[in-house]
Amino acid sequence: MLKTGKLLRLRRLSLAGDDRHLLVPLDHSVSDGPIVPADKWDDLLRALVAGGADGIIVHKGRASALPPDILKSCALVVHLSASTARSADVHAKVLVADVEEALRLGADAVSVHVNIGSDTEAQQLADLGAVARSCDAWGMPLIAMVYPRGPRIEDPRDPDLLAHLANVAADLGADMVKTSVALPLDRMAEVVAGSPIPVLAAGGPPDGSDLVEYGAAVMATGCRGLAIGRRIFSSPSPAALVSRLAAVVHGRPGAPDDNSITNDMNMADYSTIVAGVA
């Protein structure tokens, strides 16, 4: 049985109370460098909140510097893993924070990144298990970001592989799993059906095609949410884009109709669009 604290925090991860989630990862500044100029950071956060994002994902330093008024209607997820694009092994994630730190920062959840198929998979799995144990002790929701990345992965969009990853996350104690989208896209429904925990689809189409239509197509497969960072924070109007995506995630008026998208979209072509999304 989930502890009361975890139940309350899980509720805050869904503004509409429908157990659906639009999360905006902003942890890219550790892996790749600044995502916006320093003096525009608070403006970006306010735009995401104004647009209706359910939560943002940041590292502990960013969380500690948040103006307290910004997240009145948006959940805070503190990311505990890190690596940089300049590492000898970019797939090797290490823990750089813990659950207790996240609690002191007022986090509603924590997230941990695991790359299955990497040279350091064993240590990353051990880290996920340790964080899950701490989350259970403190009543903290855990989002596992589990990806098929590394020298042992032949097809990172294989639905069977992604279903395996979702079960790894569930079996090691995560409450939600964020992972890649399967190809062909309609087979993402198999990943969702095989997962004991809610699946959040990571990323968006990399070719500049319509992100909202992508989101609707992914949600139509049964995913419980979207976790999109780069395409949102690099948008000229993040608030407007988040608002449209939130309508898709939560089924509000103005969202594209799931059935029309599923029926009208050439799924083979769309599979090409989403290939390579992080």
* Residue from 149, 117, 114 nearest 131 by CA: 114
Catalytic residue ranges? 27, 147, 178
Burial zone of 78 (CB within 10 Å; 0-12 exposed, 13-18 middle, 19+ buried):
buried
- Cβ atoms of residues 154 and 121 within 8 Å: no
Three-state DSSP class for 21?
A: strand
- Joined tokens for residue 29: 């500044």
- Alpha-carbon distances of 89 from 3, 96, 170, rounded to whole Å: 38, 16, 26
Is residue 254 within 8 Å of 65, Cβ to Cβ? no
Structure tokens that stand for 198 in this block: 């809610």
Residue type, position 256, single letter: P
